[in-house]
């Protein structure tokens, strides 16, 4: 009777109480009267024993049935309790294992995030930009910028590998935020390498004007889509005067750090770690 399962809990409880009351009435009142009637009623067929014997028989017979019924009910209750305990134990074991796995995963995430954060070497970027402004030896600057690029790419790859197999909605949001920081950092390194290459040409603004415009157009064509922070925006702002305005161009290009500072990145990292810890704490809660 599926309709019973759809009833409210209170009505189910009332129906259960009425059912047991009905059973009690039948056992205590109805059955004894029926037995008494059958004993006193003249037998249609010849039977062995008188009323006293039959009363004793029915008492033992029904007592055995009732005892068997009670034993069966107790056995059923014990079975359900054992089943529930076994299920609870299996669930607890699974949750303990899941808790251990997630904890180990968080330890790995924390280590990778620290490496990831340290790969944003803005202090050295600023120092290299200063060297570019002063036209120090170009080759070491370019070599170090390439090393910073590789270090950043390696840290990003190691972090992303943790989330390859399973990533929930919240983790995806954090990864998108990290991607924004990655892109801005990578573009900054790219722009400094490009400027280091074009800015070391000899001559004045007038002599380098056509060379700068052509180089910018080539550079822009290889780095779409457009981004407001790219160095060509500041070069165009200063009418391609990379000689006389080099200090302002580099300075404004580095102002991207105001919107993507390492302190802001650290807040995102801390938030991700806190989220992962909260998810771990939920695993062993009693209501799970």
Q: Convert 128-157 to b/e letters by CB count within 10 Å (16 or more is b).
A: bbebbeeeeeeeebbebbeebbeebeebbe
pLDDT digits (tens, 9 = 90+) for 7-38: 677 777 777 788 777 777 777 777 777 777 76
Find, among 174, 209, 194, the residue nearest to 253 by Cα. 194
What is the percent of the chain with per-residue pLDDT over 90, rounded to a whole number? 30
Whose tokens are 């000689």? That residue is 243
pTM above 0.85, yes or no: no
* Predicted local distance difference test score (pLDDT) of residue 30: 74
* Predicted local distance difference test score (pLDDT) of residue 202: 76
Find, among 97, 19, 102, 28, the residue nearest to 273 by Cα. 102
d(CA 209, CA 196): 16
* Predicted local distance difference test score (pLDDT) of residue 42: 61
Low-confidence ranges of the chain (pLDDT < 50): 288
Contact yes or no for 23/39 (Cβ under 8 A): no
Question: Mean pLDDT for the chain?
Answer: 83
Cα dihedral sign, 133-135-136-138: positive
């Amino acid at each position: 009777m599926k309709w019973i399962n759809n009833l409210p809990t209170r009505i189910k409880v009332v129906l259960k109480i009425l059912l047991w009351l009905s059973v009690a009435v039948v056992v205590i009142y109805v059955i004894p009267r029926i037995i008494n009637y059958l004993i006193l009623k003249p037998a249609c067929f010849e039977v062995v024993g008188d009323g006293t014997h039959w009363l004793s028989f029915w008492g033992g017979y029904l007592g055995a049935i009732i005892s068997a019924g009670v034993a069966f009910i107790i056995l059923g209750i014990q079975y359900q309790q054992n089943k529930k305990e076994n299920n609870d134990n299996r669930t607890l074991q699974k949750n303990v294992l899941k808790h251990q796995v997630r904890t180990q995963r968080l330890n790995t995430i924390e280590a990778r995030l620290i490496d990831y954060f340290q790969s944003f070497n803005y202090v050295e970027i600023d120092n290299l930009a200063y060297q570019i402004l002063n036209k120090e030896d170009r080759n070491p600057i370019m070599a170090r910028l390439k090393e910073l690029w590789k270090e950043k790419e390696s840290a990003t790859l190691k972090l992303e590998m943790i989330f390859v197999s399973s990533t929930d909605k919240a983790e995806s949001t954090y990864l998108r935020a990290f991607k924004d920081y990655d892109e801005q950092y990578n573009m900054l390194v790219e722009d400094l390498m490009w400027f280091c290459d074009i800015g070391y040409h000899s001559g004045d603004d007038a002599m380098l004007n056509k060379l700068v415009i052509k180089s910018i157009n080539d550079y822009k064509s290889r780095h779409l889509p457009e981004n407001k922070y790219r160095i060509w925006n500041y070069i165009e702002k200063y009418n391609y005067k990379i000689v006389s305005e080099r200090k302002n161009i580099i300075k404004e290009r580095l102002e991207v750090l105001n919107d993507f500072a390492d302190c802001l990145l650290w807040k995102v990292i801390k938030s991700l770690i806190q989220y992962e810890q909260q998810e771990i704490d939920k695993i062993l809660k009693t209501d799970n």
